[in-house]
Each structure stands twice: as C-alpha cells, then as structure tokens.
Amino acid sequence: MTGSPGESDGLSRLLRDVATHTTASISYCDRELRYLWVSESTARMLGSTKSIMEGRPISEVIGRPAFERIQPHMRRALDGHTVRYVEHVQYARVGWRWIDATYVPTRSTKGPAQGWVATVTDTTRVRQLESSLSLLRSDSEAALATLQHELRNPLAAIHYGLVALQSAGHGSAQAHDLLDLIQRQTQFMNRLVNDFVDEKQLSAVPQPLQRISLQSIIRSALDSTRHVFDTLEHELRVTLPEAEIPVRADADRLAQALVNLLRNSAHYTPERGIVEVKCEVSGSMVGISVRDNGIGIPAQELPEVFDLYTRGHGSKMLRPHGRGIGLQLVKRIVELHGGVVEASSDGPGQGAEFIVRLPLAG
C-alpha cells in the first residue's frame, strides 16, 4: 500500500488505536529484547500496566523463569522466522499460564529483523474447562457402569418374584411376601435412578446465585424430608436464628444438598433416633450443622466419606438408599457456592455431624 506521508501517518495512528483497544494481547519488541509498545490487554494479562512495561526489558517484566522459557522463540523471530508456539509459562506477577503465541518479525530495510510483533492468547481457562469436561465425562461413564451393575440384582429379584407369583395362591402369605420383595426392589431401583439423575443435573451449567434467606432454604429442605423422619419416628430438633441470614445461592441446589444430608442422617440412625439441625453465624461465614445419634463413622473412613460412590458409615448401612453419591453431590453443590462441608464422628455408635460453611452475602 502506498500513499502520501500524511496518509501513512494517519494509517499508522489508526492501526495503533485499533491494536490498543483490541481484546487481543499484542505487543512490539525490539532486538534488545525490550517491550517498545504493548496493548492494554497485554498489560492486563501480565498483571502490569502500559507505563510500567513499555521501554523495559522483557525479562524484568515477565520474570526470569518465563523469559528463559520463551527466549528461544524470540531468537527465531529475530532470525527472520514467523514463530507459532504453545507453552506453559510461569510469569512473575500472574503465575503459571498456558499461552498460544505468534511472533511476526519486522524489518525497516532488507537487513536483519528489527524486532517482532507478538500476539499472545492466554488459554489457561480453556484448558481448565477442557480438563473439567474430561473429568465429567469420566464420572458419567463410571456412573453409568455402576448403575448398570447395581440394577442387575434388583431386576433379577423382581423377575424371580413375578415368576413365583404365578404359582403362589392369591392372597397367600407367600404372595404377600413376594409382593413386598418386589416393592422393596422397585423402590431401591427408583433411588438408584434418582441419584443418577441428580448427578447428571449437577454437571449442567449452574444457575446464577441470587441473594436469599438461608432460613427459607433450610425450611424447604426440612419440608422435603419430613415424611422420612416421621416414618422412622426420629425426633427432629431445629434451631434457627430469628434474624435473616442472607446468602447468595442457587436455592434449589442448596436445598438439595441439605436434603441429602438430612436423608443421610435419617438412614444411618436407628428408629426413634435424634437428628439436630442448627444454624450459626461466625464472622463472614455461616455454618449449618446436621448432627445425629446414629451408627457413627469409623475414623479411617472419614477422609473418604465425600468420595464418589462411597456409601459411608462403613458396611453397617441400616437401610439401602442409593449408590453412595449423595455426599459427593453435597460437596460439589457447596463448593459451587464458595463453601466447604466437613464431617466428624467420635466413632462407631457415636453418631455423626456434618457442617456446611457458606459465605454470607455482602
């Protein structure tokens, strides 16, 4: 492209303005390995500013480890080659980052390159998402395999019951027992499928967190599980502060986490047991405690109680209620809300306590 000096100057200013305001990370470096010019996005990516970066040696800006990692690519650009590379780089201010970069050498004459224009894309977040998706796929495959495996036994029992019913007398004690068997196994399969659906829903994109009263979420979870406690004749003791406790939450998911904790306590507590629910504010956090006087958890099993497919509470489960993913779901939901969940027990026969800690809404 040719034109008058004024036109060229105007074009240069236009290109500089575009490069300055683009979201792409662009910079111009010289043979002395200095940043002569950087876009705002480049400065943000490196945790710096244009005024600090421009005119300074690259090694001082990005740190020695990062500089030594990418210096060979700079040398190739100065040798006149267009360079494209992907590297995992430890920057001085922002730490480890995955970058996808292209260097294009610049010349003012037919002599050696005077420098290069760099376009750099930070792909760290993309790689993290890809890794998360890969883990989700692995979890889904494992969940499906487990579901297929665990459905075999109840299906076989139901098939046996139906065949035996054909020869049993109508209204006989044997027929009653067989119908009871079919009902139990059908309920068990229903719980398996519900657990699987809950897990698949959790891997979907979470809903935006809204400011809401924590007490309303706790009451919703209590209402959803009231029939479980009534059936088992448990005493449910609830202590909630009168003053509203504001949190930022996906109300449905957080309620589901509390439902899982309440069901867990109910199922691992002998009939006519006691389950206590308390809520207390401490500093910038709020804790929700679900404590029971059930069968407890052996000390060696506490570190694994939130692992996927761990039923927890050892092999002494009082009544089957799923594949053992309930507490893993609790952990994932709580972490989506910026919180943590902890389990404690004094051992077998001493009950257990689960505490969910969440940040208060500002």
Residue whose entry in the numeric block shows the structure tokens 């490069």: 19
Instruction: Give whole-number Cα distances, 145 to 1, 149, 356, in Å.
Output: 63, 6, 30
B/e letters for 1-12, b = 16+ CB within 10 Å, e = fewer, are: eeeeeeeeeeee
Considering the domain architecture, whether residues 100 and 145 belong to the same structural domain is answered as no
Predicted local distance difference test score (pLDDT) of residue 5: 46
The count of domains in the chain is 3
Q: How far apart are CA 286 and CA 334, in angstroms?
A: 12
Region at 312 (left for phi over 0; alpha for psi -120 to 50; beta for the rest):
left
- Indicate the residue among 94, 122, 150 that finishes a domain: 122
Provide the residue-wise pLDDT of the chain in tens; the chain has 362 residues: 444 444 445 545 655 665 555 657 899 999 999 999 998 889 999 999 999 999 999 999 999 999 999 999 999 999 999 999 999 999 999 899 999 999 999 987 778 899 999 999 988 887 777 776 666 666 666 666 666 656 666 676 677 777 777 776 667 777 777 777 777 777 667 666 666 666 555 555 456 789 999 999 999 999 988 888 998 999 999 999 999 999 999 888 899 899 889 999 999 999 999 999 999 999 999 999 999 999 999 999 998 888 755 554 444 444 444 445 678 888 988 988 889 999 999 999 999 999 999 999 96
Considering the domain architecture, whether residues 138 and 14 belong to the same structural domain is answered as no
Considering the domain architecture, whether residues 115 and 22 belong to the same structural domain is answered as yes
Considering the domain architecture, whether residues 214 and 337 belong to the same structural domain is answered as yes
Structure tokens that stand for 172 in this block: 């006989």
- Of the candidates 337, 304, 310, the one whose C-alpha atom is nearest the C-alpha of residue 324 is 310
Considering the domain architecture, whether residues 190 and 217 belong to the same structural domain is answered as no
Considering the domain architecture, whether residues 195 and 57 belong to the same structural domain is answered as no
Considering the domain architecture, whether residues 333 and 212 belong to the same structural domain is answered as yes
- Indicate the residue among 100, 122, 144 that finishes a domain: 122
- 10 Å CB burial of residue 320 (0-12, 13-18, 19+) is middle
Task: Give the CATH number, domain containing residue 347.
Answer: 3.30.565.10
Q: How far apart are CA 119 and CA 23, in angstroms?
A: 11
Considering the domain architecture, whether residues 213 and 331 belong to the same structural domain is answered as yes
Write out the residue range of the structural domain in which residue 317 sits: 207-362
Considering the domain architecture, whether residues 237 and 328 belong to the same structural domain is answered as yes
- Indicate the residue among 55, 87, 122 that finishes a domain: 122
Considering the domain architecture, whether residues 147 and 113 belong to the same structural domain is answered as no
Task: Give the CATH number, domain containing residue 200.
Answer: 1.10.287.130
Predicted local distance difference test score (pLDDT) of residue 176: 73
Instruction: Give whole-number Cα distances, 332 to 241, 309, 357, in Å.
Output: 26, 14, 13
Predicted local distance difference test score (pLDDT) of residue 46: 94
Considering the domain architecture, whether residues 228 and 340 belong to the same structural domain is answered as yes
Q: What's the predicted TM-score (pTM) here?
A: 0.50
Considering the domain architecture, whether residues 352 and 213 belong to the same structural domain is answered as yes
